[in-house]
């Protein structure tokens, strides 16, 4: 049976009020009395249930999610998951709000982080643009004791407390193996569509993809990366132009902007067979899997990422440990045959 504050009070020969003052590091307790209480805590092996204490106090956790303002289906889905978390706020004792910044704009992200440092929320989750100024701003906040979680895309070498997202190098390697196996003995070129090389998740996916292609599928040549800025219209134009190259036999879309990709494939690739692997299961990519425009989708569970970020931020605010296995985000592979 776990020791309680009543056990501590009895062992130390003090009142419950004195135990409470020691546990909460409040003044008004003589040094000798404080030592008696602390000795009783150690000898009894008492571990304080901070979450229960905060529940009893009715504590609310103000949390902020910083997302890129982007017209892509994955970010719309991520926003929807945050809205669901807001609906659960009363049960989870959170007060959640979102702030949108221009996509791939380090200066705008830094400006928001600096403003939040004055507001002092309990925790911040952000989709990171991997730039030195952003890293410096995050590190300043961590040193000022703000819990920080990166969401979907991580921040190289920063002091952030946790990353809620998939292993993107593994995701890129998986995409390469799928494409290579699907294409078999064919020789040709692979077009790669990214959002921006300013974000770590896109760079890591490309790194993993390129490594497997070079080592195991040398007859497939990767063309220079097309950066569509996760914008469907830009992606459509870039892919449509690229598909003028008859040597392209495969496409890897490692970011968003898949609505534009799908439109370009349907317009420009009707007279040849292309193998296509993309990221994120949305209404548009689901339909493209079903009609064979896309062959495979690599997906991350946005709801799990949001719930994980909230759990970690609350734990860090309370000084509690994070259960790593619970917060691991898995990578799902969907074909038309196993759609949920």
Predicted confidence (pLDDT) per residue in 258-294, tens digit: 999 999 999 988 788 899 999 999 999 999 999 999 9
Do 277 and 320 belong together in one domain? Answer: no
Are 252 and 190 a contacting pair, CB within 8 Å? yes
Do 266 and 175 fall into the same domain? Answer: yes
Residue 338 lies in a domain: no
In the prediction, which pLDDT does 333 show? Answer: 98
Check whether residue 140 and residue 205 sit in a common domain. Answer: no
- Hey, what are 72's tokens? 């892509």
Residue 176 burial by Cβ neighbours in a 10 Å radius (0-12, 13-18, 19+): buried
CA dihedral for 64, 66, 69, 74, sign (positive or negative): negative
The answer to whether residue 89 sits within a structural domain is: yes
Torsion of CA 192, 340, 184, 217, to 10 degrees: 40
Same domain flag for 118 and 202: no
The CATH number that applies at residue 208 is 3.40.50.2300
**Residue 136: closest CA among 107, 105, 168:** 107
What's the DSSP call for residue 184? T
Q: What is the pLDDT of residue 58?
A: 58
pLDDT of res. 3 = 85
Q: Which residues of the chain have pLDDT under 70?
A: 48-58
* Residue 204 domain-assigned (yes or no): yes
Residue 199 lies in domain: 168-300
Mark whether 144 and 198 lie in a shared domain: no
Residue found by looking up tokens 């704009």 in the block: 105
- Give the integer Cα–Cα distance in Å for 173 and 208: 4
**Same domain (yes/no): 295, 187:** yes
Q: Clarify whether residues 186 and 255 are in a common domain.
A: yes
The sign one gets for the Cα dihedral 98, 100, 104, 105 is negative
28, burial (CB in 10 Å: exposed 0-12, middle 13-18, buried 19+): exposed
Number of folded domains that form the chain: 3
Q: Is residue 275 part of a domain?
A: yes
pLDDT at 23: 79
152 and 62 inside one domain: yes
- Kindly state whether residues 178 and 296 are assigned to the same domain: yes
Residues 220 and 295 in one domain: yes
Question: Are residue 234 and residue 267 in the same domain, yes or no?
Answer: yes
Please report whether residue 61 resides in a domain.
yes
Residue 337 lies in a domain: no
């Amino acid at each position: 049976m776990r020791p309680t504050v009543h056990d501590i009070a009895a062992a130390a020969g003090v009142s419950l009020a004195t135990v409470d003052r020691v546990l909460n590091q409040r003044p008004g307790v003589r040094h000798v009395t404080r030592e008696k209480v602390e000795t009783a805590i150690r000898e009894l092996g008492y571990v304080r249930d901070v979450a229960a204490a905060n529940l009893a106090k009715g504590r609310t956790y103000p949390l902020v999610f910083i997302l890129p303002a982007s017209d892509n289906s994955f970010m719309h889905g991520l926003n929807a998951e945050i809205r669901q978390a807001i609906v659960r706020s009363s049960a989870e004792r959170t007060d959640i709000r979102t702030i949108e910044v221009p996509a791939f704009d380090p200066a705008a992200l830094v400006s928001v982080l600096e403003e939040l440092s004055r507001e002092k929320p309990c925790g911040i989750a952000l989709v990171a643009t991997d730039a030195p100024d952003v890293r410096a701003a995050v590190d300043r906040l961590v040193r000022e004791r703000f819990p920080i979680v990166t969401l979907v895309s991580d921040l190289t070498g920063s002091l952030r407390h946790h990353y809620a997202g998939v292993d993107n190098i593994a995701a890129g390697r998986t995409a390469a193996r799928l494409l290579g196996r699907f294409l078999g003995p064919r020789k040709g070129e692979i077009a790669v569509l990214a959002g921006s090389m300013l974000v770590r998740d896109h760079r890591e996916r490309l790194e993993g993809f390129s490594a497997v292609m070079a080592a195991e599928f040398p007859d497939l040549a990767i063309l220079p990366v097309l950066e569509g800025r996760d914008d469907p219209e830009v992606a459509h134009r870039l892919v449509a132009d690229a598909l003028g190259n008859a040597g392209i036999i495969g496409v890897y879309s490692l970011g968003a902007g898949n609505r534009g990709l799908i439109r370009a494939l349907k317009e420009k690739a009707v007279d040849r067979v292309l193998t296509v692997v993309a990221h994120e299961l949305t209404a548009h990519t689901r339909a493209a899997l079903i009609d064979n425009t896309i062959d495979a989708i690599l997906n991350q569970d946005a709801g799990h990422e949001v719930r994980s970020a909230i759990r970690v931020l609350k734990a860090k605010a309370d000084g509690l440990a994070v259960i790593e296995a619970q917060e691991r985000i898995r990578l799902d592979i969907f074909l038309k045959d196993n759609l949920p």
